[in-house]
Amino acid sequence: MTTSLIDADSLLVLDVGDIKTRAILFDVVEGRYRYLASGFSTTTAGSPFNNVGEGVRLAINDLEAITGRKLLSQDGRLLMPTLQDGSGVDTFSAIISAGPPLKIVAVGLLDRVSLDSARRIAGSAYGQVDEAIGLNDQRKMEERIDTILQLRPDLIIIAGGTEDGAVHSVNRLVDFVSLTCRLLPESQRPEVLFAGNQALRDEIEAKLAPTVNLHFAANIRPSIEDEELDSALNQMAHITTTIRARQLSGVDKLEGWSHGGLLPAASAFGRIIRFLSKTYPSKKGVLGVELGSSVTTIAAAFTGWLTLGVYPHLCQGKNLTTLLNPTNLESIVRWLSIDIPSSTIREYMMNKCLYPANIPITREELAIEQAIIRHQLRFAIESIISGFPRKAVSVGKGFLPWVEPIVATGEILTQVSTYAQCVMMLLDGLQPTGTTTLILDQNQLSSALGAAAGINPALVVQILDSNAFLHLGTVISPVGKARPGTPILRLKIAYDNGQTTNLDVLQGTFEVITLAQGQSARLQLQPLHLYDVGMGAPGRGGNLKVTGGIFGVIIDARGRPLRLPDQPNKRLELMNKWLWNLGG
């Protein structure tokens, strides 16, 4: 679709979250697309409304009140396209993350090959793999069937068979799925996605289509070595919205308004991160982090290759109790910035599950919430790294690959009291390496833009260029091995006004070089002791042009992986010192 700004289209995006529903309006101002405003409401997917429509209406009403622009007709229809009096919008898009976690069964040939890929595909949806069945499953057929029947899954993903590879074994798995589904009541049969050997499509259609809603995607393991998830990711997005439309009243209306363009919010987020990875001049990947009340989403794209991880159990809401085991608690306690007993943390988590929409308003609540976020970010990153493609270059196994930029968003991050707290959570949780930029999507537009990309790419480009996204700062995180206090990086900063500053960065330090918004500077980096700053090889330095952000240049030389002192007093002191260095 071409979008010359002469006949530019306004866009309304509805974002139906688990707790809040947002109506986001974009339009042309002074010849360029701008984000205008957002309206909010509580999501009404659950009781007593049991229809997302009421929340949608209220969010649009709120937006109408903010902008003074009428968007709904008297009878609740969306005014589309824009009328002569300026009311209404030209285009509409919608994203959804509301709904109970999807129950998914993964079926594949080999555990470390097709089943692993099927798990990764499942990980892009708002759900979890409750059961995985491979060819070597030792259970009796009856047991496997009963396990699935008791689970009553929303979706079964079948993978397996490389292209021109296994046929008979895949057929056996498909027969098993077919039989199992036939034993389920018709109203409870799952959607089935086949993403295996494409030579079997006709046979599989004949076996499964009469029983279930069958979807096909390209083979996720075309060969043992290669993994191709794109087609399956797209199908997963479609299947997720299909399931949501069945589960939640009112979703079908959004589908109608968006002409079938409704997307899961995570897929839309992944789409914008992939888009950035294709357009950003850097050869590194792009990392996106969305911290919502009910889910954490990590999207990483390396020159268009997307890895998407959706973690419903990593949230600040109803699934928080999944973290109530001693290992997780110990990890959370280590991230606390004030001394709080672990019993209080457990209490906090249990109560937050009861009231997921609650916001922390005391020092203790805030400290606990931010400690949990650090733990969850760490967990999410460690989980997703194994799924990154080979082209994602990192300094070593388990380290975050080189990425530029990191885009962070979500209710939890954008609501924190200070940008310093936000930056510290991101650095502690993600532990980036080399040089990167931190960008905060403070208006939570990323997923909305991902949805918009399909209908108005020009809008996406212009909003990304606008000041809707906040540049928090450039981060330099040298990686290597040296004793604390050892100089590991020589840095020369040449400001626009001709001034220069030299700095020796010591291992274990955390410093900030102020560079005001709009200012720019040239950095000359010379790593010592074979430290790696992501400029091609350990010990290799280079030049870097940086522009000012909220924090200018952040030098995070605390080490990777970041190891906190075991002594609680020393740990608390350090954490507060680091925060203090950022301005508190």
Largest CA distance in the chain: 77
Stretch that binds another protein, among 42-50, 159-167, 228-236, 373-381 (CB under 8 A): 42-50
Interface residue with another protein among 1, 2, 48, 225 (CB under 8 A) is 48
Closest CA to 304 of 226, 380, 219, 228: 228
Binding mask 505-524 for another protein (x = CB under 8 A): --------------------
Question: What's the closest the beta carbon of residue 59 comes to another protein, in angstroms?
Answer: 11
Interface residue with another protein among 182, 201, 283, 570 (CB under 8 A) is 182
Q: Is 188 in the site for another protein (CB under 8 A)?
A: yes
Q: Is 149 in the site for another protein (CB under 8 A)?
A: yes
For 15, list phi and psi in degrees, rounded to 5.
-120, 105
* CA contacts within 13 A on the Cβ side of 33: 23
Question: What's the closest the beta carbon of residue 362 comes to another protein, in angstroms?
Answer: 6
In the window 333-372, what residues touch another protein (CB under 8 A)? 343-344, 346-348, 350-352, 354-355, 357-366
Binding mask 123-142 for another protein (x = CB under 8 A): ------------------xx
Q: Is 150 in the site for another protein (CB under 8 A)?
A: yes
* 262, 52 Cβ separation under 8 angstroms: no
Q: What is the DSSP code string of 513-556?
A: E---TT-EEEEEEEE-TT-B-SSSSTT--EEEEEE--SS-EEEE
Stretch that binds another protein, among 45-53, 216-224, 281-289, 524-532 (CB under 8 A): 45-53
Type of residue found at 148:
I
Q: How many residues touch another protein (CB under 8 A)? A: 51
Stretch that binds another protein, among 156-164, 183-191, 475-483, 556-564 (CB under 8 A): 183-191
User: How open is the CA angle 302-387-448, to the nearest 5 degrees?
Assistant: 55
Q: Which is nearer to another protein, 149 or 199 (CB)?
A: 149
Stretch that binds another protein, among 198-206, 209-217, 304-312, 416-424 (CB under 8 A): 416-424
| Stretch (H or E) spanning 28 | strand 20-29
How many Å apart are CA 212 and CA 366, to the nearest integer?
47
Question: What's the closest the beta carbon of residue 296 comes to another protein, in angstroms?
Answer: 19
- Reading the block at residue 216, the tokens are 């096909």
Q: Is 47 in the site for another protein (CB under 8 A)?
A: yes
Closest CA to 444 of 9, 5, 40: 40
Strand partners, 543: 524
Residue 569, Cβ neighbours under 10 Å: how many?
Answer: 9
Give whole-number Cα distances, 185 to 181, 182, 189, 190, 255, in Å: 8, 8, 7, 10, 27
**Residue 29: strand, helix, or coil:** strand
Beta strands in 189-258 (DSSP E): 191-194, 213-216
Q: Is 38 in the site for another protein (CB under 8 A)?
A: no
Residue 500, Cβ neighbours under 10 Å: how many?
Answer: 11
Q: Is 187 in the site for another protein (CB under 8 A)?
A: yes
* Residue written as token pair 């002192």: 565
Stretch that binds another protein, among 28-36, 37-45, 64-72, 373-381 (CB under 8 A): 37-45
Q: Is 249 in the site for another protein (CB under 8 A)?
A: no
Binding mask 82-101 for another protein (x = CB under 8 A): -----------------xx-
Q: Is 417 in the site for another protein (CB under 8 A)?
A: yes
Point out which residues bind another protein (CB under 8 A).
Answer: 40-42, 44-50, 55, 58, 99-100, 141-142, 145-146, 149-150, 152, 179, 182-183, 185, 187-188, 343-344, 346-348, 350-352, 354-355, 357-366, 415-418
